[in-house]
Chain A
Amino acid sequence: MTTPQAVAEAAAALELEAIRAQFPALHQEVHGKPLVYLDNAATTQKPRAVIDAVRHFYERDCSNVHRGVHLLSQRATVAYERARTTVRNHLGAADSREIVFTRSTTEGINLVASSFVRPRLEAGDEVLISAMEHHSNIVPWQLLCEERGAHLKVIPIDDDGDIMLSEYEELLSDRTRIVGIVHVSNALGTVNPVREMIAAAHARGIPVLVDGAQSVPHRAVDVQDLDCDFFVFSGHKVYGPTGIGALYGKREHLLEMVPYQGGGDMILSVSFEGTTFNDPPHRFEAGTPNIEGAIGLAAALDYVNSVGLDAIAAHEARLLADATAAVLAIPGTRLVGAARRRASAVSFVMEGVHPHDIGTILDSEGIAVRAGHHCAQPVMKRYGVSATVRASFGLYNTDSEVGALANGLTKVREVFG
């Protein structure tokens, strides 16, 4: 007898099969085993739509943008600027001119540090970040603070991996020039209450940058609802190409910001006496941009939206819950990060077995996970570990892959006793 529930499950499974068919790289064997790709927080595999979009650009439209009167250049320019509109729509920004294409999340943060914060940062001022930041949201601020004689302040996190909000409010001072906060932690999976944190900062007139590298792939983001001043993310973690990312900045900020790099495309006129800079976003896109990257990123966002971010979030939440239970069922495992709200990643350690050994044994079973400090060494230090194993999920992962992870971890126990 077929129950309605069984029908629904079959439909869901069928959909997943169709989704997986769109990702060529998933269909391969590693070490003689089917690939189980659980390293999506590091980077995601690419759907056919993205590969085709990049290929189409090179086969048909390859030309430079914003120059040249010929047809190919016009087509390239239209595609590039259309990609900007796609990013704008995806983030819910008010104006396409608020979207700057970058190389990555890292470059977006460096751009804001350099062009927005540097001119207003004086000795004794403060930059406020959290204890769970990725190195990319630590080091640019450290460099800047050192240069300016300013102080880098750190919001503490509790044992579960949640931001300590009352401490945060106390750290917001009249010397705080910016708050940089990660939306979803790559190392712990914590989903931070950025909307509330932004409101608290704004109540004191402090602008906020949100690192969305790990949130954009997994949930709908609306920058106007968040009311963040800046929002940065990378294309490759949301099924797009590497080497492309985007920065959202409120128009009023971008207009008053100094250029990041000098070069072509970011100017209106140049003479040896001086240069008139172009308006945002072009002011911040010196040189020939990553045209195919932007086009590929737009294709990736279109793809994600065609599947539906709410459906993706629900699917990944279920995988995460199952994987967390599977990990904890292995003797001697301990979660690193058990925040109230987590997304997409389970980070853990196993007593008596180093994460790198776990990574090697899982790899021999065809399972790709991250083993290491996740470019978040202060987080590792906070929890008294040098490294963790992290399994992170994407829209194409399946229940049977969670099962493979559980079996792989059982094998680790067999080898190490």
Chain B
Amino acid sequence: MSDMRELYQEIILDHNKKPRNCYVMDCATRSADGHNPLCGDIVKVYLRIEDGIIEEISFQGEGCAICTASTSLMTESVKGKSVLEVREIFEGFHDMLTGVAAEQGVEMGKLQVFEGVREYPVRVKCATLAWHTLNAAMDGTDDEKVSTE
């Protein structure tokens, strides 16, 4: 049970219940769809990028608590950052979930709450789906599709 509290920390439960930046963006310059066919999680990420800076980010989707909270917290942590900075954060986040970052001591801020997911290999994709989708949206021109499978 204590393990479960480590996985489902308050901030995760909060963002799952009340996801931030969860809306359809009409003025998006980029968007991408993410899908985890294994568990059915889906997410659409909208971006408004101006001069290489993510001025606005939002999402719509349906998934488990880990997926929803990860997407919500991701939107908060990348807003106002440059595409280059965001890619670095994603790399650090990915490393944290696969066990590399702990040794390197990379500071992830709020995103650190997902560290516990590392102990649940089948749930890592739940936490990274949004980031893969964001990556695709930053890469593409419009309507990119990614799958974590």
Contacts and interface: CB of A to CB of B under 8 A. Distances in A.
A382 to B, nearest CB: 15
B4 A415 contact: yes
B94 to A, nearest CB: 20
Contacts of A361: 4, 8
Interface in B63-93: 63-68
Nearest to A380: B40
A346 B4 CA distance: 24
B58 to A, nearest CB: 21
B40 A357 contact: no
Interface string B34-59: 00001110100000000000000000
Interface in B90-124: 120, 123
Contact of B126 (A356, A364, A377): A356
Given A352-B17, A372-B40, A387-B39, A357 B5 contact: no
B8 A357 contact: yes
A364 B3 contact: yes
A386 B8 contact: no
A357 B66 contact: yes
A415 B66 CA distance: 13
A364 B116 CA distance: 14
Contact of B40 (A31, A353, A386, A414): A386
Interface in A344-379: 352-357, 360-361, 364, 371-373, 377
A274 interface: no
B8 A416 contact: yes
Interface string A391-417: 000000000000000000001001111
Contact of A364 (B4, B17, B62, B64): B4
Contacts of A411: 1, 4
Most chain B beta-carbon neighbours within 10 Å: one of A356, A371, A387: A356
Contact of B64 (A357, A373, A417): A357
Given A372-B40, A386-B40, A354 B65 contact: yes
B22 interface: no
B13 interface: yes
Contacts of B39: 356, 371-372, 387
Interface residues of B, number: 22
B5 to A, nearest CB: 7
B40 A373 contact: yes
B19 to A, nearest CB: 13
A371 B4 CA distance: 17
A398 B98 CA distance: 38
B7 interface: yes
Contact of A354 (B4, B5, B64): B64
Interface string A7-46: 0000000000000000000000001000000000000000
Given A356-B39, A372-B40, A416-B13, A386 B62 contact: yes
B121 to A, nearest CB: 11
B4 A356 contact: no
Nearest to B3: A364
Contacts of A373: 40
A139 to B, nearest CB: 14
Contacts of B63: 354
Nearest to A31: B3
A373 B42 CA distance: 13
A377 B8 CA distance: 28
A386 B126 CA distance: 15
Given A354-B64, A354-B65, A357-B64, 19 more contacts: A354-B67, A356-B123, A357-B8, A360-B120, A361-B4, A364-B1, A364-B3, A371-B39, A377-B40, A380-B40, A386-B62, A387-B39, A387-B40, A411-B1, A411-B4, A414-B1, A415-B13, A416-B13, A416-B65
Interface of B: 1, 3-5, 7-8, 13, 17, 38-40, 42, 62-68, 120, 123, 126
Shortest 9 CB-CB contacts between residues of A and residues of B: A354-B64, A356-B64, A386-B40, A357-B65, A357-B64, A415-B8, A387-B40, A415-B4, A373-B40
